[in-house]
Amino acid sequence: MNKKIIHYGLFCLILGLGLSFGHLSAQTKKHYVEKSETVYGIAKKYNTTEGEILRLNPELSKRSLRSGEFINIPQNKSITQTPPRQQVLRHRIKQGETLTSIAKYYGVSIESILKLNPEIDRDHYKANFILLIPDTGKVKDADKVTDSDTDKNATNQEIFITSDHYPAISNQLNQHDTVRVSIALPLKSGSSDRYLHFLEGFLMGLNDLKKQNISVVLHTYHIDGVADTKHLINSGALYGEHLLIGGSDDNEIDLLADFCKEKNINYVVPFSSKISDEATYSTLFKINPLQQTLYPYIAKEFIKRYGNNTIYFVSNRFPDDPLISYLQQALSDANISYRIRDIKTLDNSINNAVVMPCNAKSTTLTELFDRLDAQEISCKVFGYPAWQSFASNLQKRMPKYNTTFYSSFYFPLGTKDANIFLNKFYAWYNHKVTDTYPKYSVLGYDIAKYFIYAIHNGGIYFYKDRAELVSNGLQSDFRFVQPDGTKIHVNANVFFVTPKSDRPALRETIVNAK
């Protein structure tokens, strides 16, 4: 896949969704097209070429410019550069005022106002909305909006908090306000494909939300390492966001988590599971949990389903998975007996039993199925999330033994919803969803729909009523818990998945109550 082409395509797609897009490796910005402007004139203004503008805006090769639209313009600035320390004023829009009159009063351009206030556009804004205005030094202090002016009667309910270098916007919002979102991930060429796939799915989720009249301002930033992360934080670009998603390693995540905790920004960690469940970040949501977090829920459901069966834990030359000792202790605590045997010793005396291999390796599962076939044993098999990523010939053997495995993520291939997503994804991006576990494009889609809908309807403190939130994602039903004595929100969703030979797998959600 040509990442550079995909980046440009994604930018055009975002403009079609009415979203604001931050710095990608393509390094583009928006230009508002005035009446009578031409591609040639715009190219000359920005010291670029007509061909470059047409490449970034392929629709212009089929039609002429339209006044009032935004187009893509290349820029050479990098997020890793230290941003200018721009001072900002606040202005409450009075009844009858226009952006033209406000811009003239402050001696700035309309475009500079729109850049600082992505919630509005040139023709749509309300009286009492508090604008951010670049401070050119032309306005007397007496004319500036004070903190006492920013009362709760303001339409956009913005309260401004000072910082050392940037006046930050608070992220308070009412129901149905525009949701401000930033994604910070490695997106340049050479980075892992999974981040770009995540973004692709995320944009599809935004498109669905747009159909529900949910307005989103999205900024996306390339960060790859501590230096990029610090520059992004220091740039002031994240101030006032309602939701931040990203961080690809522990150091980036720690920096972003500290910032979001200080600024009360909801922070979603979509990939890493290494951050401690004992962390004190009350606004942090960890999508990929430590497996040990799920053990109580798995054990409870395992006992509920199989407690009346004879249970065998079968081993071979490989070390036991940590879940095995937890399950064995849970069974003992429930006064349920179990047995341990080597796979090579299994025979038809275990007919009708439940068999669980002691490790998740594909060679172990193959060895088990071979033994069950050779001894003509009829039993049930229970296992691990990794099994969904095994070769298709091994997966096809699972239904014979009524195999079930647990997982936080499962994309039910063959279902109507899955087919719709796969077809739409291919139509949008001209490539298929990658065959990984989890599927990162679907992860992006589910995260967009869950969190933005939740914030839009419940505000930034939506998680206080998380029991009321309904999650029915394509790949994960997000069910967040706060481990005992902690503040972090951990996704404790667990599916029990049973593959079928003649229809899509049965995916059952386990209620996450210990």
Give the per-residue SS3 of 8-38.
HHHHHHHHHHCCCCCCCCCCEEEEECCCCCC
Tell me the pLDDT tens digit for each residue of 472-505.
899 999 998 887 767 888 899 999 999 999 999 9
Reported as type and span, the H/E element at residue 372 is helix 362-374
Give me 428's structure tokens: 């949008």
Tell me the pLDDT tens digit for each residue of 306-364.
999 999 999 999 999 999 999 999 999 999 999 999 999 999 999 999 999 999 999 99
27/498 Cα distance (integer angstroms): 46
Cis omega (within 30 of 0) on the bond before 296? no
Question: Above 50 in pLDDT, residue 209?
Answer: yes
Tell me the pLDDT tens digit for each residue of 399-414.
999 999 999 999 999 9
pLDDT of residue 28: 64
Position 26, amino acid: A
Higher per-residue confidence, 150 vs 124: 124
Question: Above 90 in pLDDT, residue 273?
Answer: no
300: β partners? none
Give residues with Cβ within 8 angstroms of 2, minimum separation 6: none
> Looking at the chain, how many residues does it have?
514
Residue 134: helix, strand or coil by DSSP? strand
Residue 389: helix, strand or coil by DSSP? helix
Q: In terms of DSSP H, where are the helices of 211-249?
A: 226-235
How much is the mean pLDDT over the chain? 81
Distance of alpha carbon 201 from the chain centroid: 9
Average pLDDT over residues 51-71: 74
CA-based radius of gyration for the chain? 27
Residue 216: helix, strand or coil by DSSP? strand
Sign of CA dihedral 83, 266, 118, 249: positive
Question: Above 50 in pLDDT, residue 25?
Answer: no
Residue where the block lists tokens 């509005």:
120
Average pLDDT over residues 248-252: 90
pTM of the full predicted structure? 0.70
Reported as type and span, the H/E element at residue 241 is none
Average pLDDT over residues 159-187: 57
